[in-house]
Structures are given as C-alpha cells and as structure tokens.
Structure 1
Amino acid sequence: MLIDAKLLSEEALRGIAEHYVISQLSETEESPQFDIWVEKTLEAIARGELVVEYSEVNDSVYLKRRDELPR
C-alpha cells in the first residue's frame, strides 16, 4: 500500500530516507556521503521518483522507485 509522503512528519520521512540510503550503501563502491545522499533521497521523494510503501506482510515502511511499481 502506498503512503502519501506529505502525510508523514519530517522526522519520519527523514528516518525512512536514512534507512533507504543505508540499505543502498552495500550496493555501491563509492565512499558514502551520507548526508548528501539523504538529501538527494528526500528530493527524489518530493519529485515522485521514490514512493513510500507500507508492507502489511512485514509491517514495515520502505522506499521504492516509482518505475518498480506494478502497472
């Protein structure tokens, strides 16, 4: 189920973005610039490139690229 990011507090959204960045760090060889990556992630959410999804199965919230959503 998708959640409108505008309904989340700034603190909650930042936490989700930080978790997303941490999960992506293992997939890259670049030296992490954590704060910059978090800001870029928040910008991608604002542009609608990343969406917030709630998984009822896992009872968790995570970010997903819009182009990964089923059509």
Structure 2
Amino acid sequence: MPYVNIKITREGGTTPEQKAELIRGTTDLLARVLDKNPATTFVVIDEVEMEDWGVGGLPVADYRAKLAARKD
C-alpha cells in the first residue's frame, strides 16, 4: 500500500485540476514502475505557506531572490 506525500508551497493558486493530475500521474507512475495497485495507492498533497518552507538555510522567498540575483 504505497503512500506518497507531495509538498508544495502555497502560491499561485494550484487548481483542483492540477492537483488531480498530480494524483493521477503519481498513481500511474507507481503502477507502471513498481506494479502497485492503484486502488491501494494513497497520494496526499500538502500546501505549505512560503514562510514555513526553507531551502539552503533561507526562507524559500529569500532563496529564490538569491538565485534570481545570480542570474542577473
């Protein structure tokens, strides 16, 4: 019984259709690659506030700003 937890930042308004596609695609991938039964595959999507997510020791917004500054 696979359990997959997808965490994304809550920004830009992920639509119900996009979430359904993530669930469907993840379930299909597990069925195809690992021969897992879709009926017993659980996919949970957690949306996390930007200020509650960090990358490389920085809040995600600061991390992205740092990356953008490097590209300039």
| TM-score (normalised: structure 2) | 0.38
Q: Which structure shows the higher strand fraction?
A: 2
Q: Which has the larger radius of gyration?
A: 2
